[in-house]
Amino acid sequence: MIGRLNHVAIAVPDLEAAAATYRDTLGARVSAPQAEPDHGVTVVFVELPNTKIELLHPLGDNSPIAGFLAKSPAGGIHHICYEVEDILAARDRLQAQGARVLGDGEPKIGAHGKPVLFLHPKDFCGSLIELEQV
Ligand X SMILES: CC[C@@H](C(=O)O)C(=O)SCCNC(=O)CCNC(=O)[C@H](O)C(C)(C)COP(=O)(O)OP(=O)(O)OC[C@H]1O[C@@H](n2cnc3c(N)ncnc32)[C@H](O)[C@@H]1OP(=O)(O)O
Binding site for ligand X (CB under 6 A): 9, 36, 39, 41, 43, 54, 56, 64-65, 67-68, 71, 78-79, 81, 102, 110-112, 116, 118, 121-122, 126-128, 130
Least gap, CB of 91 to ligand X (angstroms): 14
Evaluate whether 107 touches 88 at the Cβ level (below 8 Å). yes
Q: Name which of 40 and 100 has its Cβ closer to Co ion.
A: 40
Q: Decide which of ligand X, Co ion, none touches 128; Cβ closer than 5 to 8 Å per partner kind.
A: ligand X
Evaluate whether 41 touches 59 at the Cβ level (below 8 Å). yes
Gap between the Cα atoms of 73 and 51, Å rounded: 26
Q: Name which of 94 and 131 has its Cβ closer to Co ion.
A: 131
Three-class DSSP category at 3: coil
